Amino acid sequence: MDFEKELKVERTNIPGLIVFDLPVHGDNRGWFKENWQRAKMTALGLPDFGPVQNNISFNAKKGVTRGIHAEPWDKYISIATGAVFGAWVDLRPGENFGQVYTTRLDPSKAIYVPRGVGNSFQALEDGTVYTYLVNAHWSLEQKKTYTFVNLADPDLHIQWPIPLEDSERSEADLHHPMLKDAKPMAPRRTMVTGCNGQLGRAIRSYVDAHGLEGFEFNDIDTFDFSDPAQYDRFDWSLYGTVINAGAYTAVDKAETPEGRAAAWKANAQGPALLARAAREHNITLVHVSSDYVFDGSRELHDEAETFAPLGVYGQSKAAGDIAVANAPRHYILRSSWVIGEGRNFVKTMMGLSDRVAKGELERVTVVDDQYGRLTFTRDMAEAIFHLLDGGAAYGTYDLTGSGAVKSWADIAREVFDLSNGNGGKVKPISTVEYFANAKVPVSPRPTYSALDLAKIEATGLDVPDWEESLKAYVTKELSA
C-alpha cells in the first residue's frame, strides 16, 4: 500500500463505475485515510448519492468469494483491512449489459458502484474487512428487484486469482444464472401525479405510445401529494423520478377564501413535500410552473427573471417553484396558456364558433390586450422526456409553442376560422371591459405571457410552432 498519494479517480468501461485512489497517511504507528470525503469526491465526479447506511462484511479466510449481485441502490465500497479482487458486471438494460470490470482493492482504493451493476469480490487475505455505504435501506420490496449472474460464467472471462473450485462460496452463489439467462435490473419507478389532468393524460399517452415500463399514475384520490400523512405509504427509495402534473388551476377561484387555501395547499405545500421526498431519496422531480409567477410587464420572460406574481394563483405557483428548486435533481418546466385533453380555451372557442355558425350567437368577445403563445400538453410531455432522457442540466426551462406572439383574440379568430371559417365574428375587447360586470373575484392577468425558449432549444429540443400544433389539434377535434 502506497502512502501520501493524491486523491485521484479512474473511469472504467462500465458507465458510472468509478475507482478512487485514496490518500493514505502512515508512519510507524499505522495509517490514516479519509475514506469518503463528500466535497472533494463530488468535485471529482462522485455522484452526491446520499448514503443512509454503512455495512461491513468480515471475511475470515483468504478465498472467500461473494456475488455476483446487482442491488437496487448505489454503493461506495472500500477496504478497512486486507485486500480483495473485485469483479463488476453491468446488469442494467441497454448496450452495456454484460460489460465486466475487475481490479484489486486494498485500503488505498475505493470504488463507486451505481445501481444495477453486479458486485462481487474475492478475499485475498485472511481477516479482510470490506465496508460499503448504500443510499437506500434494505426492504423486502427492494429485495424483489435484485438480479444475479454466476461467478463462474465463462462468457464473463473473469480471471479469479484463486480458482473458484478452491474458494469458499455460498450455496446460493453457486446456482445463480449465466449471463445469457440473467434478468436485467429494472429501472427505478416513475410516479406521475395529477394523472387525470390535461398534462397527466398527455404523459400517459406518451408512456403508452413508447411502451415505457415502471410508471405509476396517481391522482388526488390515490395520492394527495399535499397531505403530509400520505407520504409514509410509499417506499420512496423504489422511485427514481416523480413528474408532478397536478396543480390547482382555477385562477379566479383562487381569489376567494376557500380557493386561496386550496391553491396554496396544491401549488405550494404539495410541491414542497415532494421536494423533501426527492431530496431525501435522490429522486428527480419534474414540476410544471406558470407564466403567472411574473407580473407580465416584460414582453418576453426568461428563466432568470425575478418572481412578481399579481394574484393568489401566481403567488402559490411561485412558492411551489421555490420549494422544488431546493431538490438537487429537479426540472421546472414553465409554460403558459396550456391546451390538452379536457376543458380549455380552444375547445371553448370551437364550441362558440359552432354556435355562431348555427345562428345562436351573433359574435363573441375575446380580450385582445394579453399576449402569449399556446402550450400544447403533447409538446410538454415530449419536452419532459427530452430533459429526462437527454441528461439536460437540472434547473428551470421555459416551454411553450414557438412562433408568433399573439393575443387571445387573435388565437380565437384562428380557431373560429379553422372550425367554421367565421373568424370575423370574434370581437376584440380589453381585459378591463371584459370583466367590468363580473360578480365574482377576478385574478389579475399578466399582460405579456410569452416565454423565452432559448434555453430549452439549446438542449436540442425542436419546439413546434404553436399555430401548426393548433391546426392539428382542431383538425383532430373536428374529426372526433
Asked if residues 330 and 287 have their Cβ atoms less than 8 Å apart, the reply is yes
Whether cis (ω within 30° of 0) applies to the bond prior to 68 is yes
Q: φ, ψ for residue 417 (rounded to 5)?
A: -65, -40
Collapse the DSSP code of 189 into the 3-class scheme (helix H, G, I; strand E, B; otherwise coil) and give the result. strand
Q: Is 294 helix (H, G, I), strand (E, B) or coil?
A: coil
Residue 122's contacts (CB-CB under 8 Å, 6 or more residues apart) are 63, 64, 65, 66, 84, 85, 86, 160, 161, 162, 167
SS3 95: coil
300 Cβ contact partners less than 8 Å away, ≥ 6 residues apart: 448, 450, 451, 452
Q: Are 383 and 389 in contact (CB under 8 A)?
A: no
In terms of phi and psi (left: phi > 0; alpha: psi -120 to 50; beta: otherwise), the region of 16 is left
Residues in the chain: 480
CA-closest candidate to residue 17, choices 85, 87, 156, 111: 111
25 flagged as catalytic:
no
Give the integer Cα–Cα distance in Å for 460 and 61. Answer: 54
Are 281 and 236 in contact by the 8 Å Cβ rule? The answer is: yes
SS3 track for 325-353: CCCCCEEEEEECCEECCCCCHHHHHHHHH
Report the amino acid identity of residue 340: G
User: What nine digits make up the cell of 201?
Assistant: 393524460
- Grid cell of 263 as nine digits: 391553491
Of residues 69, 146, 231, 386, which has the active-site annotation? Answer: 69
Distances (CA, A) of 90 to 14, 46, 117, 118, 156: 7, 18, 4, 6, 11
Which residue do the cell numbers 421526498 mark?
277
In whole angstroms, give the CA distance from residue 464 to residue 350: 22
Q: Which residues neighbour 398 within 8 Å (Cβ) at sequence distance 6 or greater? A: 301, 302, 303, 334, 335, 451, 452, 453, 455, 456
Q: Which three cell numbers stand for residue 383?
A: 419536452
131 CB neighbour count, 10 Å cutoff: 18
Helix (H, G, I), strand (E, B) or coil at 462: coil
175 catalytic? Reply is: no
Spot the catalytic one: 76, 112, 132, 292. Answer: 132
Q: Annotated catalytic sites, by residue?
A: 69, 132
